[in-house]
Structure 1
Amino acid sequence: MAPPRILVVGAGFAGVECVRRLERRLSPGEAQITLVTPFSYQLYLPLLPQVASGVLTPQSVAVSLRRSSRHRTRIVPGGAIGVDTKAKICVIRKITDEIVNEPYDYIVLAAGSVTRTFDIPGLLDHARGMKTLAEAAYVRDHVIEQLDVADASQDEAERASRLQFVVVGGGYAGTETAACLQRLTTNAVKHYPRLDPKLIKWHLIDIAPKLMPELGDKLGVSAMKILRKRGIEVSLGVSIAKAGGEEVTFTDGRVLPCRTLIWTAGVAASPLIATLGAETVRGRLAVNAEMALPGADGVFALGDAAAVPDLAKGDGAVCPPTAQHAMRQGRIVADNVLASLRGGTLQPYVHKDLGLVVDLGGRDAVSKPLGIELQGIPAQAVARGYHWSALRTNVAKTRVLTNWLLNAVAGDDFVRTGFQSRKPATLRDFEYTDAYLSPEELVARTESAAKRK
């Protein structure tokens, strides 16, 4: 008899932690592990703003799955586009565009999330995201390109539009992105003698009344003071009303000449979740405390894809989509898959918060490890120490540490790679949200496959 098939969808924090634990705890021949992911690396998402600003190289935050695994896992290069829980089949589109059916006995849905967007005129056509490695590399090239073109331009209106930058989203991603890129342009403009540094304006806006409310009032205010002292204009209670190629309209009526709109206003669960036809909570699969999907045999979901009950908070709260939760959920799901396999008892997910870290570039940071509020260099040491320790391979740790040291000694560089020059790179172009099957298409495909057998 063939061993049971465990299929893990997604190589983010949750999926990789699950696979690593399964590899360690499964006996030889006890089960087959398959991991579905478009890329053979785990992206260390919290450090993307430092890739965009050039402090870190892209490969520094792309942790190789081949290095970190024990080579017991079969990696399928592609993305899951549908799951039929009754037939126990996952439909996969490989990177070659071949569509295949992958049967499973147990499936772990760690498909992550996509950028959350709204029906704002021009948003999808003119905004750039910060969710993927390619987007971070593109944003860096794009920002430096604006300085290059503005420096050469004789048109004052064009120069003004190229030197204003807007970041939407006052969470960790948006705040760190604005802070790191503003530092880059501040250092870069010294090498553009024809540009007046006062013309470069960074705007950070969010519809929420507070910046990074999870930090608490004191640290949130401290972070805002740091940003404003560095010249970043922070506007709260404001969002985008309309986006264009050369200007952006805010909901408060302001119209800014701007050719750089970076959108980081939250995330939504992967469209894969909708193909299951199961109950959801704000788009995330409604799972129990053991992260099993009720009514679906052998289905587990976690991370950004699932509304995992937060037993520590209670009152119906669900865990936020953070790396800290995803990593710990991955380990518990692995244990629960093993328990299901061996006839054991599943355990609920209970989490103790370890705190929050926010790296604002240079010596600026705010952190709250274990409830202790820190600012400045101590907070920076905690933030970078946490990120460094969370990297899964010694190669990744060495690259990141070397990049940090090199940047501290030699400063920033301002080179455009040009590898995506003249190609579209908006929110439409990186996340492929139109690639998924409808529930009806999924059933038709699996039924057709069953008949052929």
Structure 2
Amino acid sequence: MAPHIVVVGGGFAGFRAARRLARTSRGRARITLLNPTDYFLYLPLLPEVAAGVLEPRRVAVSLPAALPGVRVVLGEAVHVDPDRREVRHHDPEGRAGVLRYDRLVLAAGSVNKLLPVPGIAEHAHGFRGIPEALYLRDHLIRQVELAAATDDPAERAARLTFVVVGAGYTGTEVAAHGRLAVRELLRHQPALDGAQVRWLLLDTAPRVLPELSPRLSRTADRVLRDRGVEVLTGCTVAEALDDRVRLTDGRVLPTRTLVWCVGVRPDPLVEDLGLRTEQGRLVVDEYLTVPGYPDLFACGDAAAVPDLTRPGRLTPMTAQHAVRQGALAAHNVVASFGIGRRRRYKHNDLGFLVDLGGPDAAANPLRIPLSGVPAKAVTRAYHLISLPGNRARARVAADWLLDVVAGRPATGFGLLPDTSLKAAINAR
């Protein structure tokens, strides 16, 4: 019977691993991908979905369509037993299932990082998937509409104050795109002509985008401030309430919008394994194999991969590393069956890209610092190349063009709680 290879997770690492396995195993193995959704999410473009630049399906690539020869099982992995070679999971309807494997690629990815800040879990908006991006889009539209409808200056000011916590890639892009999105929405609200809109970006770090060079960080900071975003470094939220937040410097900001982009942590599945971890990530060797378990591989955000270019350190949790680790994990899985020779993971970062909305971006491809239109061109070209499939690329390019020539729609999707079916029925 053909060996069974199971890939847990359909993010950057898992998707690339499954795709490479399907191509290199040459039909000599059964490949199963376990993922909670039937699509691969291209996360870097999610802020543009929230801003209304891209339609949500543009960043979602169908797994069955993109992975011919791979069986896609919808479900959430809840436990891995490496001794019995089993993955236990729950499907979308809560039914339990078990996948038995000969080789396992653990690419479970990461989840939002919640800090012990009072009120965050109850009042902050996360930003990790399409539902959250669409919810934020609806929320921004709702706040602008309610601000236009009220005659209370204090309420209007609170509804037009938007707070983003976390000045890494996601938070910076959410603040940059969100500011432009709200500016576009205000064009359809004459009652708000001249109204003050506040966007604040908070982080305990001393500068925005601390992962980047100081030069690129300054570029992003300048663009944000020129656009009217207030950048508060060395500061974060101490308490969140329904209608205001209290900052660590003592200030209180009346607001109805708090977006939480503080960072991510490895999926809890990693801790459940009971194996050795580092910084919360599953320890693997340079071949992406878990010590003591030659049939268990891990890659992406879930894996503590040694960085051979910087001895003693781990590779960062970025999409760039996840993609390459997924491909190498697939190669080494196939090599474990005697097809080819396994390789070590060694990769230098090729640079970073941050899309700041409009004509602005910051990038350092091949360590060449760029800003403005050149950086924007490089950033969009990179995303088009990285998106799987020509149809997805064409549709994203078309949406970008439409945003320039026709603007973006000012309608939401009715995802806010009080627009539910139950609320509609009760209102009659």
What TM-score bracket applies, with the shorter chain setting the length? over 0.9
Secondary structure of 1:167's counterpart equals strand
Residue type at the aligned position of 1:230: R
**Aligned match of 1:381 in 364, 377, 380?**
377
Secondary structure of 1:11's counterpart equals coil
Where do 1:56-67 residues align within 5 Å?
Answer: 56-67=54-65
Name the structure 1 match of 2:415: 419
What number of residue pairs does the alignment pair up?
420
Tell me the TM-score normalised to structure 1 length. Answer: 0.91
Structure 1 spans left out of the alignment, 5+ residues = 425-453
Structure 2 spans left out of the alignment, 5+ residues = 421-428
Name the structure 1 match of 2:82: 85
Name the structure 1 match of 2:174: 177
C-alpha contact (below 8 Å) 2:111/2:266 kept by paired residues: yes
Name the structure 1 match of 2:332: 336
Q: Does 1:24 align with 2:23?
A: yes
Cα deviation code 1:242-268 (max 9, x no counterpart): 001100111111100011100011100
Query: Distance between the aligned counterparts of 1:343 and 1:387, measured in 2?
Result: 32
Query: Distance between the aligned counterparts of 2:195 and 2:372, measured in 1?
Result: 25
Query: Distance between the aligned counterparts of 2:46 and 2:339, measured in 1?
Result: 41
Name the structure 2 match of 1:43: 41
C-alpha contact (below 8 Å) 1:174/1:204 kept by paired residues: yes
C-alpha contact (below 8 Å) 1:168/1:263 kept by paired residues: yes
**Aligned match of 2:154 in 144, 157, 182?**
157
Tell me the TM-score normalised to structure 2 length. Answer: 0.96
Query: Distance between the aligned counterparts of 1:380 and 1:154, measured in 2?
Result: 40
Query: Distance between the aligned counterparts of 1:166 and 1:197, measured in 2?
Result: 20
**Aligned match of 2:106 in 80, 99, 109?**
109
Cα deviation code 1:341-397 (max 9, x no counterpart): 227643110002111111101101111100111111110000011001101011111
Where do 1:143-154 residues align within 5 Å?
Answer: 143-154=140-151
Q: Does 1:395 align with 2:394?
A: no
Query: Distance between the aligned counterparts of 2:275 and 2:64, measured in 1?
Result: 33
Shift of 1:222: 1.4
Residue type at the aligned position of 2:317: P
C-alpha contact (below 8 Å) 2:139/2:416 kept by paired residues: no
Query: Distance between the aligned counterparts of 2:419 and 2:8, measured in 1?
Result: 30
Name the structure 1 match of 2:316: 320
Structure 1 vs Structure 2 CA RMSD: 1.3
Name the structure 2 match of 1:367: 363
C-alpha contact (below 8 Å) 1:67/1:393 kept by paired residues: no
Query: Distance between the aligned counterparts of 2:419 and 2:265, measured in 1?
Result: 26
Q: Does 1:356 align with 2:352?
A: yes
Shift of 1:66: 2.2
* Cα gap change, 1:338 to 1:255, in 2 (>3 Å): same
**Aligned match of 2:119 in 114, 119, 122?**
122
Shift of 1:198: 4.3
Query: Distance between the aligned counterparts of 2:317 and 2:410, measured in 1?
Result: 33
Residue type at the aligned position of 1:346: R
Residue type at the aligned position of 1:248: V
Secondary structure of 1:235's counterpart equals strand
Shift of 1:20: 0.8
